[in-house]
């Protein structure tokens, strides 16, 4: 019985929410705070002091997608945790009701799940959840997720954490295998006669280095390789009829719980489901100090994330069928991410949830040819895995093995290049690239990866030059693969505002990949930018015919309508693109063109609408694309200031340009514009500061000294006549003139003409 003044006195138990392998969960009301909470009565699977240490770590967690742990206490040997009550419904409940999820929805929830798990993994004392599955993820009314139930979570000790259970169909193979291995060891050690029924240690070949879970096929169904040959609906649990008091039992047998229940190493009888906790608690009577635990790490959670996303998208648990229905429209990027997350060998998975999050964030990048290449690599590895090598019957086993090793090594180089951080060392990437090319100089994969790497680094001119160089050797490539190189080059030209060259590259790409909807769509946009509206319309029609995604189609139509001058129609299409797309790049493109459509009238009201719209976009695109929107926003502020000379616009422009500089998004025009604005609005100290930053970046550029001369002229003009001294102005002008003659060639610069006139006036009026 619980004593008076029990910690439970402050709670009013409202109902039992659920029961699982690790405990019973109740909804309760904190009487004093009038706050709804969840109380979990924890089964005795770990020592109480260990549980308290873990809860102390969990109580410090604060994340949007994780409930707060509010309290922990023990009564009569039974432990309880108190957490925030999360409104909503578990994904398992939604799946049970037959709710279907689109790919875009699953990707959104996957990003949130990875963000939450990466937060757990990146704590000073990392937390490995250990039991990620649809039943432990809530979908809140605001359509965001919340990861719950840390009952078997492991608190890391070095690089490894330990847990006490697993869930069939979601836990990583090594977690499940360790569970059954420990059970067998305990039975031998304690001499129990308990036997295991229907125990499987995972599907596929545990010793294999690569396990391909999915492959991109041409049919409407995608094979799951390595499926269990046993009845897929069988619930794999240990027998619960154990009479020996020392026997090890798994809490949560098929007779007690759903087949998705978490299997937990423990002993004794699971707690019941009392309508009121007080007076009904069950005391723990066994010593668990010597109970072995299952080692898990970050990659175990990665596998569980993959299995969960698989279930959400297919509607079927990973271990319950040999085939999963994946529609032909499933993106290659999504298949690739599931493949990598669900590798049986932990070394071949994403190294962390953060790496998986990066992959999900870039899943819809418009380089479709690149994504296709990644999937093709996966298919090649599947072929190698099963030993289906062309001409295998004609060569010796030794040569075949050597070739397979070569292919595997090459594939690993390509994998490293594909996941290389574009902000990382260029020398590090180049070393991997040279290794790959040295191994297979006639294969195109490494060349595609380097082009894409340069593009991701925003080294657009280098990208174009590299692709031009690589294409000189195009005879060694499979002809259809050349489309990828042309496509990356086209995108680089587009980023440089070289629309004719971009259109030429897209046209060449289509020679090899005629029915690619994304290339047709981007070709239409490039043609619209060049003014070829008829050609743009034809390309857009083909893109639609070949199945371009709605968001991309709306972007294409919006760009064409904008080029026609139909700004209202353009705005409608572009807003639809923004609403539908998960691709930050396309979203950024839509925001920019839509912003230009809104301000096309040039009036103050138009400019105000554009400013409001672009400001909203800054919080709606990824950080890597904010600089583009910020640049257009600054231009719009400047346009409004030129029209009205109102201070709010100059302040907005200066603020936007300053943020671009601080965030590393600045170009020469950014510095130039902020210096001009600060000079013209009398902010001479700020102007001098930004000229200094400009000089650090653009040393010995005549424009720097030109700006210094203009600023010095204004500074002296603001002084009284007695204090004026234009000698510095003359010094800056002469240096600007000298550098201009060296650097400009035949170029004309009207601002230099103005400085010459100002110098002559000062001489004529005897200031110099």
d(CA 555, CA 568): 14
Mean pLDDT of 29-49: 74
Q: Please tell me whether residue 464 adopts helix, strand or coil conformation.
A: helix
> 678: which residues sit within 8 A by CB, 6+ positions away?
654, 684, 686, 687, 690
Instruction: Show the tokens assigned to 410.
Output: 């090459």
Residue 313 in this model has a pLDDT that exceeds 70: yes
Kindly report, residue by residue over 190-224, the tens digit of the pLDDT. 554 443 333 333 333 333 333 333 433 333 332 33
Please tell me the predicted confidence (pLDDT) of residue 433.
93
**HSE on the CB side for 391, CA within 13 Å?**
7
Please tell me the predicted confidence (pLDDT) of residue 418.
86
- How sure is the predictor about 51, in pLDDT bands with cuts at 50, 70 and 90? low
Higher pLDDT: 7 or 29? It is 29
> 24: which residues sit within 8 A by CB, 6+ positions away?
16, 18, 40, 41, 271, 272, 273
Please tell me the predicted confidence (pLDDT) of residue 298.
83
From residue 578, alpha-carbon distances to 293, 554, 558, 588, 599 in Å are 48, 9, 11, 8, 18
Mean pLDDT of 130-155: 80
Kindly report, residue by residue over 652-708, the tens digit of the pLDDT. 999 999 999 998 888 889 999 999 999 999 999 999 999 999 999 988 899 999 999
Instruction: Show the tokens assigned to 308.
Output: 């969960």
Is residue 421 annotated as a catalytic residue, yes or no?
no
Residue 494 in this model has a pLDDT that exceeds 50: yes
> 315: which residues sit within 8 A by CB, 6+ positions away?
95, 98, 100
- How sure is the predictor about 493, in pLDDT bands with cuts at 50, 70 and 90? very high
Please tell me the predicted confidence (pLDDT) of residue 681.
94
d(CA 629, CA 101): 32
Nearest to 214 by CA among 318, 100, 64: 318
d(CA 134, CA 154): 19
Kindly report, residue by residue over 430-478, the tens digit of the pLDDT. 999 999 988 888 888 899 999 999 998 889 999 999 999 888 876 666 6
Neighbours of 215 (CB within 10 A): 18
> Of the segments 181-190, 250-259, 660-669, which one has the largest average pLDDT value?
660-669
Please tell me the predicted confidence (pLDDT) of residue 423.
79
**What's the burial of 285, exposed, middle or buried (CB within 10 Å: 0-12/13-18/19+)?**
exposed
Mean pLDDT of 523-547: 95
- How sure is the predictor about 162, in pLDDT bands with cuts at 50, 70 and 90? low
Please tell me the predicted confidence (pLDDT) of residue 526.
96
Residue 119 in this model has a pLDDT that exceeds 50: yes
Please tell me the predicted confidence (pLDDT) of residue 55.
63
Neighbours of 427 (CB within 10 A): 7
Mean pLDDT of 349-364: 84
Please tell me the predicted confidence (pLDDT) of residue 150.
63
Nearest to 635 by CA among 672, 663, 590: 672
d(CA 43, CA 139): 26
Residue 238 in this model has a pLDDT that exceeds 60: no
Please tell me the predicted confidence (pLDDT) of residue 321.
56
> Of the segments 89-103, 458-472, 521-535, which one has the largest average pLDDT value?
521-535
Query: Which of the residues 44, 56, 71, 131 is marked catalytic?
Result: 131
d(CA 5, CA 420): 58
Mean pLDDT of 565-577: 96
Please tell me the predicted confidence (pLDDT) of residue 422.
83
d(CA 21, CA 136): 12
Residue 568 in this model has a pLDDT that exceeds 90: yes
Assessment of whether the complete model's pTM goes beyond 0.75: no
- How sure is the predictor about 152, in pLDDT bands with cuts at 50, 70 and 90? very low
Please tell me the predicted confidence (pLDDT) of residue 664.
84
Please tell me the predicted confidence (pLDDT) of residue 287.
41
DSSP conformation class of 3: P
Please tell me the predicted confidence (pLDDT) of residue 64.
85
d(CA 26, CA 80): 10
DSSP conformation class of 79: E
Instruction: Show the tokens assigned to 544.
Output: 């639609």
Query: Whole-number mean pLDDT of the chain?
Result: 77
> 139: which residues sit within 8 A by CB, 6+ positions away?
88, 89, 90, 91, 94, 109, 145
d(CA 50, CA 56): 10
- How sure is the predictor about 756, in pLDDT bands with cuts at 50, 70 and 90? very high
Q: Which residues pair with 81 in a beta bridge?
A: 40, 72
Nearest to 528 by CA among 564, 486, 488: 564
Cβ-contact 547, 578 below 8 angstroms: no
- How sure is the predictor about 5, in pLDDT bands with cuts at 50, 70 and 90? low
d(CA 474, CA 472): 6
Residue 124 in this model has a pLDDT that exceeds 50: yes
> Of the segments 154-168, 378-392, 576-590, which one has the largest average pLDDT value?
576-590
Cβ-contact 483, 369 below 8 angstroms: yes
Residue 247 in this model has a pLDDT that exceeds 90: no
Higher pLDDT: 309 or 424? It is 309
Neighbours of 563 (CB within 10 A): 19
From residue 20, alpha-carbon distances to 70, 180, 316, 331 in Å are 21, 19, 21, 35
From residue 279, alpha-carbon distances to 2, 276, 415 in Å are 5, 8, 59
Please tell me the predicted confidence (pLDDT) of residue 401.
59
Cβ-contact 514, 533 below 8 angstroms: no
* Residue 406 main-chain phi, psi, to 5 deg: -65, -45
């Amino acid at each position: 019985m619980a004593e008076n003044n029990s910690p439970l006195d402050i709670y009013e138990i409202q109902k039992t929410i659920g029961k699982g392998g690790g405990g019973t969960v109740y909804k309760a009301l904190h009487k004093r705070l009038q706050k709804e909470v969840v109380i979990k009565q924890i089964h005795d699977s770990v020592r109480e002091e260990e549980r308290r240490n873990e809860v102390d770590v969990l109580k410090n967690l604060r994340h949007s997608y994780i409930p707060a742990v509010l309290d922990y206490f023990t009564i009569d040997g039974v432990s309880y945790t108190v957490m925030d009550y999360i409104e909503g419904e578990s994904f398992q409940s939604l799946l049970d009701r037959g709710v279907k999820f689109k790919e875009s929805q699953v990707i959104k929830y996957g990003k949130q799940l990875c963000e939450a798990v990466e937060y757990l993994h990146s704590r000073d004392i990392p937390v490995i959840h250990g039991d990620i599955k649809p039943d432990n993820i809530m979908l809140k009314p605001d359509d965001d997720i919340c990861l719950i139930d840390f009952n078997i979570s492991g608190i890391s000790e070095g690089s490894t954490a330990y847990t006490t259970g697993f869930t069939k169909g979601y836990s990583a193979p090594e977690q499940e295998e360790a569970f059954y291995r420990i059970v067998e060891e305990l039975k031998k050690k304690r001499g129990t006669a308990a036997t295991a029924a229907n125990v499987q240690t995972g599907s596929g070949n545990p010793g294999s280095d690569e396990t391909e879970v999915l492959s991109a096929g041409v049919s409407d169904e995608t094979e799951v390789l390595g499926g269990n040959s046993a009845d897929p609906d069988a619930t794999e649990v240990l027998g619960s009829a154990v009479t020996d008091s020392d026997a090890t039992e798994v809490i949560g047998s098929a007779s007690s719980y759903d087949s998705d229940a978490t299997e937990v190493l423990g002993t004794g009888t699971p707690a019941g489901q009392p309508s009121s906790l007080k007076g009904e608690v069950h005391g723990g009577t066994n010593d668990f100090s010597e109970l072995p635990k299952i080692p898990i790490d970050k990659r175990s959670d990665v596998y569980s994330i993959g299995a969960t996303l698989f279930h959400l998208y297919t509607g079927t648990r990973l271990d319950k069928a040999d085939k999963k229905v994946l529609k032909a429209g499933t993106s290659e990027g999504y298949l690739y991410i599931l493949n990598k997350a669900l590798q049986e060998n932990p070394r071949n998975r994403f190294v962390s949830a953060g790496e998986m999050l990066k992959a999900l964030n870039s899943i819809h990048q418009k380089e479709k040819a690149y994504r296709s290449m990644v999937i093709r690599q996966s298919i090649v590895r599947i072929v190698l895995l099963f030993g289906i090598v062309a001409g295998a019957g004609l060569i010796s086993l030794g040569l075949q093995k050597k070739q397979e090793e070569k292919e595997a090594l090459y594939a690993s180089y390509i994998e490293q290049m594909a996941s290389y951080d574009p902000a990382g060392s260029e020398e590090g990437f180049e070393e991997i690239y040279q290794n790959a090319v040295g191994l297979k100089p006639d294969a195109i994969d490494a060349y595609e990866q380097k082009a894409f790497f340069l593009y991701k680094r925003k080294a657009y001119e280098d990208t174009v030059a590299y692709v031009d160089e690589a294409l000189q050797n195009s005879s060694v490539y499979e002809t259809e693969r050349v489309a990828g190189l042309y496509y990356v080059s086209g995108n680089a030209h587009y980023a440089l505002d070289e629309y004719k060259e971009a259109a030429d590259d897209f046209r060449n790409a289509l020679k090899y990949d005629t029915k690619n909807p994304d290339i047709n769509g981007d070709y239409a946009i490039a043609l619209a930018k060049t003014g070829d509206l008829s050609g743009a319309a034809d390309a857009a029609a083909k893109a639609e015919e070949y199945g371009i995604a709605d968001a991309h189609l709306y972007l294409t139509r919006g760009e064409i309508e904008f080029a026609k001058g139909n700004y209202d129609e353009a705005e409608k299409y572009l807003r639809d693109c923004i609403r539908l797309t998960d691709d930050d790049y396309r979203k950024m493109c839509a925001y920019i063109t839509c912003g230009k459509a809104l301000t096309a009238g040039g009036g103050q009201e138009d400019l105000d609408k554009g400013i409001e719209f672009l400001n909203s976009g800054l919080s709606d695109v990824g950080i890597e694309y904010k600089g583009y929107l910020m640049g257009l926003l600054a231009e719009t502020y400047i346009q409004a200031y030129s029209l009205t000379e109102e201070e709010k616009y100059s302040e907005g422009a200066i603020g936007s340009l300053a943020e671009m500089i601080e965030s590393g998004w600045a170009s020469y025009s950014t510095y130039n514009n902020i210096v001009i604005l600060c000079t013209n609005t009398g902010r001479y100290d700020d102007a001098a500061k930004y000229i200094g930053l400009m000089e650090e970046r653009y040393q010995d550029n005549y424009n720097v000294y030109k700006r210094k001369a203009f600023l010095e002229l204004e500074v002296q003009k603001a002084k009284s006549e007695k204090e004026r001294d234009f000698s510095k102005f003359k010094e800056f002008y002469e240096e600007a003139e000298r550098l201009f003659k060296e650097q400009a060639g035949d170029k004309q610069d009207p601002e230099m003409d103005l400085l010459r006139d100002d110098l002559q006036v000062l001489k004529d009026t005897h200031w110099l």
